[in-house]
Structures are given as C-alpha cells and as structure tokens.
C-alpha cells in the first residue's frame, strides 16, 4: 500500500465547503499560510518562551522568531523536494505549493505551546497528576484523564487551528487538509503516545484526526493511529535544523557558551571541517562570527535532509519509514546534531537563571490551574447555580472560553487549558500575581 499525491494534496478545506483545485492569485495553500500569520494565536508566540524564559535581551529567540525561521527552512525543503518529484504531483500543484504547505505547518508547529515553553507543559501535566485522586478528576474516563496528565503542545496546537482560533468550534482557521496533515507530527491519540508522551490529538479532536487520515489517504496503523503525511518529515527536519543551531546561538548571546565551544560543531554541520572565514581572526562579536557559519551549515543540512527524503522515498510513501531525515543523511550532520544536543543538555538547560524561572513557572501555572480548574469544576457540578462570587469572577475572566454548566467535566477542563495555554508568559505571570493576591 502506498500514499498518492492527488489525495495527499487535496484542496479540501476543513470546516468549509468543497473548493475547486484551481485558484486565481494565491493558491489555497498560500491562504493557509496567511491565515496562520494573521491569527492572534500566532501573534502571541512573540511573548512565549522558546528556551530561555522572560529574557530582556532582544536577540534571544521567542516562539515567534523560532517559528518564522523554521518556516523559512521548511519552505526551502518543500520546494527542493517538490522539484525532484514534480512529475508525480497533481497538475494543480507546483513545487512552490509544497514549499508553502511545509512553511505553513512550520509556522503553526508551536502554536499550541503554553506559557514558559516545555516547563509549562510539565507544570500542567504535573498539576493534573497531583490531583489524580482528587474529586476534580474522579469522574473522567481513563483516556480523558490521560490527556490532561500528558498535556502536549502538539495536540493543543492541532486543537487551536481546528477548533479555537477564528471560528470557535466551527472549523477554527479552516485550513486545507494537506496543511493540517503536515502539521500532525504524531498522528495518534494519547493511548499511543511514545515514552516521551508525544501525540497530536486529544480525545476532543480524534474525529478530526480520523477524517483527515481518510481524506488524505494516510496509512492506518490502528484505531486512532495513522502514519505521517510525507511532508511532515520535512517540517520536523526544519525544526531540528533551527533549534540545533539557534539554541546554541542564544546560549552565546546570554554568555552561557563561547564561540570557540560551538565552532567545531558548526563546522561538522557545514560538511567542511576546514572552512575558514577571515572574520574568525578578528575582534568581531561572537554574534557576527556565528552568522558566517550559520548559512553554510543550514545549506548543508537542507541538502542532507532532501537527499535522505529521496533515499527513503518509497518507505515514506508506504508509511513505513521510522527514522529521522537528519540522522539518516550526511554523517557529519548527524554527528554535529548529536554533539549540539549534548552540549545544550549539559551546559544550556541547567543554566541557573533558566532553572529559577522554570521553577517559578510551576508556581505561576499552579495558581492559574487551581483557580480556573476549580471554577469550571464548580460550574459543572452545581449546574451554574449558587456559585461563589470568586467563581463567577474567574469564569468571567475566561470570556468566550468559559464552558456552559452543561459542558462535560473533561471538556470544561479543556476549555480552561485553552484559556491558560493561550496566555503569553507575561500575561500568565501578571494574572497569577493578581489572582494569588501577590500584586
């Protein structure tokens, strides 16, 4: 069994009537790109942590700048692959369409991440695990409880673009199936999550996941479990290329690492250990020196990912490929990536200030979860009647995200997470101080 591009690149748009394949001006996929860029959820990424929370240095990446850079690399990967397989593409699709599909998915790949980056994910998971035996969770089904205790930014992102943003519970951003399919890095539910807890669909979106799988012709691997869309591999590679280089660049900017510590790693990624630039011997800033290596390294990593995609193309189209493009390509790229990850793990992630702020993030999100989850719980249990003054005010803060009393408890908690997860770092910190009486 093999997937086919005429299905994988359908012009069908989720939450909208069927569309013709031909478009004047912007293609359907360019419209996806623009809908994401102009969305409020995308804009808020500018105040969300990439690696280092609440930094004052304007050169450090946020989720927004990271997503834009990943999108740029993803577009190149999509176009390059599109040019190599152009004869297999439907008549209405060009290599540049593949580029913009991957770019759009890259722009949205972190759109569901909560405040404070991965520390925020862990804080939400741990809060619900601490309440496992509490009345708050006792009436939930096992997989509903597991969704909350394994809260995943990827699954929340899928929920944002299909449910929450723009058309609330009426198609979300109403993106095309190919863009949504490419966004699904882990196209399965929480019961199929790997050892890292990775999955891309909460129980609330399983129906959408399965509809996408069928319409796109993805290979079914079991109940609520699909293979990846072929273009997802390119989105993943673009993300890996960017964080491998740019996380180290941020560490230099913050004084955690020195240029001479990462130069050998970047040279491996460049595929040229002898590469030299006259600027290396000058008194130029580390920022300027690393820029001389960044472009060359990215170009070589893109070449490596494209070659690996074509090498493993039959397995990718059959839905059986299980590797990583950057690990299965140029040996220098693979080696450099492993060393970059190790250096980040050993030197960057344990940084004292980063650790202090992440511990603070636990407290901040704990205050918010205490308040909002208790409020939606009381609203559901009491049928919206005889609520305390505080509960009424907490629910009023949620605005359109406030669930009705008739909403199931699980879905009420998901609405609370829609509200909290959508906050910027700054607003989450502010609101926690206000609610906690610490202002």
Q: Which of 139, 384, 105 is nearest to 236 (CA)?
A: 105
Cβ atoms within 10 Å of 86's Cβ, excluding its own: 12
Q: Which residues contact 368 (CB under 8 A, 6 or more apart)?
A: 420, 423, 428, 431, 432, 435
Would you place residue 137 in the very low, low, confident or very high pLDDT band (cuts 50, 70, 90)? confident
Q: Is 325 helix (H, G, I), strand (E, B) or coil?
A: coil
- The more confidently predicted of residues 288 and 67 is 67
State residue 50's pLDDT score.
62
- For the entire predicted model, the pTM comes to 0.92
Nearest C-alpha neighbor of 175 from the set 405, 356, 15, 364: 15
Hey, CA dihedral for 268, 340, 101, 310, is it positive or negative?
Answer: positive
Tens digits of residue pLDDT in 73-99:
999 999 999 999 999 999 989 999 999
Residue 295, Cβ density class (10 Å: 0-12 exposed, 13-18 middle, ≥19 buried):
exposed
pLDDT at 194: 82
| pLDDT tens for each residue of 164-190 | 998 888 999 999 999 999 999 999 999
Whether residue 35 contacts residue 175, with contact meaning beta carbons closer than 8 Å, is answered with: yes
Does 279 have pLDDT greater than 70?
no
In whole angstroms, what is the distance from residue 257 CA to residue 242 CA? 18
Task: Give tens-digit pLDDT for 354-398.
Answer: 677 778 888 999 999 999 999 999 999 999 888 999 999 999 999
pLDDT for residue 19 is more than 90: no
Cβ–Cβ < 8 Å for 135, 380: no
Continuous segment of H or E residues that includes residue 264? helix 259-270
- Tokens for 25? 């001006």
Mean pLDDT, range 333-354, rounded to an integer: 79
Q: If 0-12 CB within 10 Å is exposed, 13-18 middle and 19+ buried, where does residue 7 land? A: middle
User: Which helix H or strand E contains 221, and what residues bound it?
Assistant: strand 220-222
Q: pLDDT tier at 25 (50, 70, 90 boundaries)?
A: low
pLDDT given for residue 18 in this prediction: 54
Which helix (H) or strand (E) is 225 found in, with range? Answer: strand 225-226
Helix (H, G, I), strand (E, B) or coil at 50: coil
Q: What is the DSSP string of 117-156?
A: HHHHHHHHHHHHHHTTTSTTTTTS-HHHHHHHHT--HHHH
What is the pLDDT at residue 356?
Answer: 72
Measured CA distances, 196 to 51, 159, 190 (Å): 18, 20, 11
C-alpha 23, offset from chain centre: 29
pLDDT confidence tier of residue 270, bands split at 50, 70 and 90:
confident
Nearest Cα neighbor of 308 from 334, 281, 290 is: 334
* Beta-ladder partners of 75: none
Q: Are 332 and 264 in contact (CB under 8 A)?
A: no
pLDDT, one tens digit per residue, over 200-255 is: 999 999 999 999 999 999 999 999 999 999 999 999 999 999 888 887 887 777 77
């Amino acid at each position: 069994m093999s997937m086919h591009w005429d299905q994988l690149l359908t012009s069908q748009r989720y939450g909208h009537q069927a569309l013709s394949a031909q478009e004047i001006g912007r293609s359907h996929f360019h419209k996806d790109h623009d809908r994401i860029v102009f969305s409020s959820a995308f804009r808020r990424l500018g105040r969300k942590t990439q690696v280092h929370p609440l930094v004052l240095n304007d050169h450090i990446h946020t989720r927004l700048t990271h997503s834009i850079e990943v999108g740029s690399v993803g577009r190149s990967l999509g176009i390059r692959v599109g040019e190599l397989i152009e004869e297999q593409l439907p008549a209405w699709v060009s290599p540049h369409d593949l580029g913009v599909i991957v770019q759009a998915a890259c722009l949205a790949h972190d759109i569901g991440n909560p405040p404070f980056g991965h520390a925020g994910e862990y804080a939400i998971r741990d809060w619900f695990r601490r309440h496992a035996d509490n009345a708050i969770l006792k009436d939930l089904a096992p997989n509903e409880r597991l969704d909350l205790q394994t809260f995943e930014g990827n699954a929340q992102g899928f929920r944002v673009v299909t449910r929450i943003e723009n058309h609330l519970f009426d198609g979300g951003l109403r993106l095309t199936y190919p863009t949504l399919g490419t966004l699904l890095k882990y196209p399965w539910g929480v019961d199929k999550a790997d050892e890292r807890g990775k999955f891309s669909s909460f129980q609330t979106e399983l129906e959408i996941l399965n509809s996408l799988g069928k319409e796109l012709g993805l290979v079914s691997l079991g109940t609520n479990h699909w293979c990846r869309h072929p273009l997802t591999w390119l989105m993943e590679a673009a993300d890996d290329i960017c964080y491998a280089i740019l996380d180290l660049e941020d560490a230099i900017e913050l004084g955690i690492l020195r240029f001479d510590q990462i130069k050998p790693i970047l040279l491996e990624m460049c595929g040229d250990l002898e590469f030299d630039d006259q600027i290396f011997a000058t008194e130029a800033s580390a920022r300027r020196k690393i820029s001389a290596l960044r472009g060359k390294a990215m170009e070589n990593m893109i070449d490596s990912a494209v070659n690996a995609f074509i090498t493993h193309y039959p397995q990718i189209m059959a839905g059986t490929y299980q590797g990583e493009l950057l690990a299965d390509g140029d040996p220098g790229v693979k080696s450099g990536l492993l060393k970059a990850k190790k250096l980040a793990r050993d030197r960057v992630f344990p940084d004292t200030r980063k650790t202090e702020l992440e511990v603070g993030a636990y407290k901040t999100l704990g205050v918010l979860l205490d308040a909002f989850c208790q409020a939606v719980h009381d609203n559901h249990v009491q049928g919206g009647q005889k609520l305390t003054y505080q509960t009424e005010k907490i629910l009023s803060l949620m605005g359109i995200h406030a669930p009705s009393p008739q909403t199931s408890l699980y879905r009420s908690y998901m609405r609370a997470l829609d509200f909290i997860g959508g906050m910027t770092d700054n607003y989450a910190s502010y609101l926690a101080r206000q609610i906690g009486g610490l202002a």
